Amino acid sequence: MTKKILAFALAALMAFALVGCDNAAEGEVLTMGTNAAFPPYEFVGENNEVAGIDAEIAAAVAEKMGMKLEIKDMAFDSLITAVSTGAVDVVLAGMTVTEERKESVNFSDSYATGIQVVIVTEDSAIASLDDLAGKKIGVQTGTTGDIYCSGDYGEDAVARYDNGALAVAALQNGQVDCVVIDNEPAKAFVEANEGLKLLDTEYAVEDYAAAIAKENTDLLDKFNAALAELKEEGKIDEIIAKYIKA
């Protein structure tokens, strides 16, 4: 009887140890910061999980590095601080490479292109960038859209919102005359909402890349190596094509 119990206890212990081993074999966790209100790059999908191009690219990169991806959703304008202080390992957020951001973080090789575009209501008199003078422009706080518009049209011309969807809601309510945002989210917002259209104009063409802390050059090298392999394998194109129909 006691032998049986002992054998049982031993078996249970071994099963436990095995589970422990399994976890260790999964490897380290790579934490990614993002702002998941930017479809199709990141959005909250099924089961409240962050889905989209950036989430899938980061997961593929993490897998290549033998790591497990964990995503933290936060305000866009806190992402650079989060990565440079080590609260997250990497940021993928449809984030544009800019000289100013490069003073705080390193950027990986680019994995996509973004274009700043203008959303207006269908009946809008605004037809080109020149018409934006004197108008109220909705932007997401801290984005390049915010930075360019504040510079080109003045601080007072810009109304800042926590995310693109709120800026678009403000456009529909008549609180702003247009929204300046990246082209793919812009298309998604125009599709999902009645009475909106895109101006046929490119305000700025930009490169998206992952941001990594300055001192974490080891991760930067590994990330770039994994990304290069994924590009070569056609995996990056595949992920993008899944979300963006040509």
Nearer to ligand ARG, 54 or 177 (CB): 54
Cβ 114 to ligand ARG shortest distance, Å: 5
Nearer to ligand ARG, 124 or 144 (CB): 144
Cβ 54 to ligand ARG shortest distance, Å: 8
Q: Does 89 bind ligand ARG (CB under 6 A)?
A: no
Burial class (CB in 10 A: 0-12, 13-18, 19+), 57: buried
Please name the residues in contact with 53: beta carbons below 8 A apart, sequence gap of 6 or more: 40, 41, 42, 112, 239, 240, 242, 243, 244
Cα separation, 232 vs 246, in Å, equals: 20
Per DSSP, the three-state class of 11 is helix
Stretch that binds ligand ARG, among 1-9, 119-127, 136-144, 186-194 (CB under 6 A): 136-144
Q: Does 95 bind ligand ARG (CB under 6 A)?
A: yes
- Of residues 84, 108, 124, 144, which one binds ligand ARG by CB under 6 A? 144
Q: Does 224 bind ligand ARG (CB under 6 A)?
A: no
Q: Does 182 bind ligand ARG (CB under 6 A)?
A: yes
The CA angle 152-156-157, to the nearest 5 degrees, is 55
Q: Does 34 bind ligand ARG (CB under 6 A)?
A: yes
Nearer to ligand ARG, 90 or 222 (CB): 90
Per DSSP, the three-state class of 175 is coil
Nearer to ligand ARG, 37 or 60 (CB): 37
Q: Residue 28: what are its φ and ψ, rounded to 5°?
A: -70, 165
Q: How many residues bind ligand ARG (CB under 6 A)?
A: 15
Cβ 140 to ligand ARG shortest distance, Å: 6
Q: Is 79 left (phi over 0), alpha (psi -120 to 50) or beta?
A: alpha
Q: Does 35 bind ligand ARG (CB under 6 A)?
A: yes
Residue in this structure with the two tokens 């706080």, named with its chain if needed: 141
Amino acid at 93: A
Q: Which residues bind ligand ARG (CB under 6 A)?
A: 34-35, 37-38, 42, 76, 93-96, 114, 140, 143-144, 182
